[in-house]
Every structure is written in structure tokens, then in C-alpha cells.
Amino acid sequence: ADLNLQAIHDELIQVAYEAGKMMLAANPANIDTGTKLNSVDIVTEVDKGVEKMVSTRLSAAFPSISFMGEETYKPGMRIGPEPTFVVDPIDGTTNFIHSFPEACISLGLAIERIPHVGVIYNPWQDLLYTAIKGQGAYMTRVRGTTPQKLPLAQTPRPISGLGSSLVAVEWGADRHGANFDVKTAVFRQLTASRDIGGSMCHSLRSLGSAALNIAAVAAGQLDCYWEGGCWAWDVCAGWAILNEAGGRMAGGNPGQWDPALEERVYLAVRGAPSGQKELVEEFWGVIGDGRL
């Protein structure tokens, strides 16, 4: 209850910069790579090394705060109401091993299962996104320069429906069965011309990192981001940032983001003076009841 969120935020930024150094120092050509669920669900020794550094530093600085990280997660673990760091050491591991410069560390703090602090850092672009609940969201482009408030446009445009939106989606690691069928059908529906029943959004984007997609929505660079199958560590930090930027996280199962749950559908919508709610409804119309 009497946690100093500012001190936590400041430490998370230092930890993020340290993680960034480890990522930039790694040579993707000769890092040890393994897989988890299948051949496209990739983990590297760098993911594990960064998570170890992060958990060691955070447990030394804030011993009373619990920790959940992607690489030490075991099925059945849950996020409780107690303050918990929710960490993805490298979000965008696939990009990382291909040297595609969109990957980041995602550091969140949840209290009562609600994201309170978020820090996301992409070391390849030297882009830092941060937020503390109730205190706004910021982006720092190049370390040491003045943070810019999010969303970047001082007056965000109203949202006028899917038809004029730039939408982020991801393929994720699930490549078979109902999940894959729904995903590919939704991609088609989103892009198809209206005369064949689609919503013909301006286009689709996939940064390859859930956290960076959410950060781009918070910045107002994307109108929305939809994915089924994200994990708590993919979304916790981004969610804190999105909320503070006036955005909104909707889900087929809103707020039920515990990793133990099967249904983890997220729709992040940018801040706007109007049209957020309508976009969410239009989106659910496209994907049926939002189930995967």
C-alpha cells in the first residue's frame, strides 16, 4: 500500500537500460536457441540471462514484491493481488534472433492484478516508454533527451471506425487448429474490401512484439492492436502505458489476464476524443464473440 511507485519506476528504467546493453552485446549468429511449445516459440540464452539479471536486481531493491517472468513461469502459476513484477526479458525474441530491430524488455508492476507501472525499452531504437498510474505516459527517444507525453499528437484525432484504421495484429506461435483459423479469417475480414463484406482497414502491421505494438497504440501511431494468446508479461507494462495515454484495453474477457486462463484476447485502442467504444464494438462484430 505504501509502495513508492516513483522509486520503482526509476529502478525499472535503470534495469531496462542494463537489459538493453545485454541485448545489444549479444550476437544473434551464435546464441543458443531453444523452443518451447513448437518450432516458432523461441527462447534464447539471452532471454534467460536478462531475466536472471532483472529478478536479481529487483529482489535486492524491492524484496517484498513478488516476481513473475516469462522464462521462469511454470503452468499453474498465478498473479495474486499482492504487488508483482510482471516481466518479459525479451519481447520479440523472433525479431531478436533475426536481427530485426523491433524487440524490447517489458517491465510491469501489477497491484491487485491491475497494471500500475510500465517500462518498455527497445535498445535498437533507443526508445523508452514509461508510465506510473495517474501520472501520464511518456516516450523518450534517445536516452537523456526530454520525454514526450503520450499520445504524441497534442490533439489526437477522433477514431472514425475500422475502415480508416491502421491495425496491428500478430501471428503468434499458435499455427494450427481453431486459433489459426480464427486469426487468418480475422486478418482477411479486416483487410477485405467492403463490397465482399470486409471492413477494409487502411492496413495491417505486425511489429513482432506485443509490448511494442501496445506502446505504438499508446503513442497514437496505430489505432488498435488485436491478439489472441498474449501472456501477462507481454501486456502488463504496455497496459499501464496505454491507460495513461488515454487508450483502452478491451478483451473478449476483460481484465482476466492471468496466465493460467485459457482465453487471453486483447484489443488495445488508442486515446481519442471519440470513437473508441464504437471501434471496439465494430471489432467484436468482425471477430464474432471474440473467442479464439
Regarding 209 and contact with ligand IPD (CB under 6 A), the answer is yes
Question: Between 208 and 275, whose beta carbon lies closer to ligand IPD?
Answer: 208
DSSP 41-55: SEEEHHHHHHHHHHH
Which range, of 58-66, 129-137, 193-201, 206-214, touches ligand IPD by CB under 6 A?
206-214
Spell out the residues 6+ positions from residue 89 whose beta carbon is closer than 8 angstroms to its own.
Answer: 19, 46, 47, 48, 49, 50, 51, 54, 69, 70, 71, 105
User: Closest distance between ligand IPD and the C-beta of residue 99, in Å?
Assistant: 14
- The answer to whether residue 170 forms part of the interface with ligand IPD (CB under 6 A) is yes
Q: Is 259 in the site for ligand IPD (CB under 6 A)?
A: no
44 binds ligand IPD (CB under 6 A): no
Helical spans, DSSP H, in the chain: 5-25, 45-61, 93-98, 177-191, 210-219, 232-244, 276-286
Among 44, 93, 130, 276, binds ligand IPD (CB under 6 A): 93
Q: Is 88 in the site for ligand IPD (CB under 6 A)?
A: yes
The length of the chain in residues reads 292
The reply on whether position 102 binds ligand IPD by CB under 6 A is: no
Q: Find out whether 181 is annotated in a ligand binding site.
A: no
DSSP-derived 3-state class of residue 81: coil
The three cell numbers of residue 161 are: 471506425
Distance from C-alpha of 129 to C-alpha of 120, rounded to nearest angstrom: 5
The answer to whether 247 contacts ligand IPD (rule: CB under 6 A) is no
Q: Is 126 annotated in some ligand binding site?
A: no
> Which one of residues 234, 247, 249, 292 is an interface residue with ligand IPD (CB under 6 A)?
234
Tell me whether strands 248-250 and 203-205 are parallel, antiparallel or unpaired. unpaired
Stretch in the footprint of ligand IPD (CB under 6 A) among 19-27, 183-191, 223-231, 270-278:
223-231
φ and ψ at 254, to 5 degrees? -55, 135
Q: Is 92 in the site for ligand IPD (CB under 6 A)?
A: yes
The answer to whether 223 is annotated as binding is no
Q: Which of 20, 229, 275, 290 binds ligand IPD (CB under 6 A)?
A: 229
- One-letter amino acid for residue 249 of the chain: M
Contact footprint for ligand IPD (CB under 6 A)? 70, 88, 90-93, 170, 172, 208-210, 227, 229-231, 234
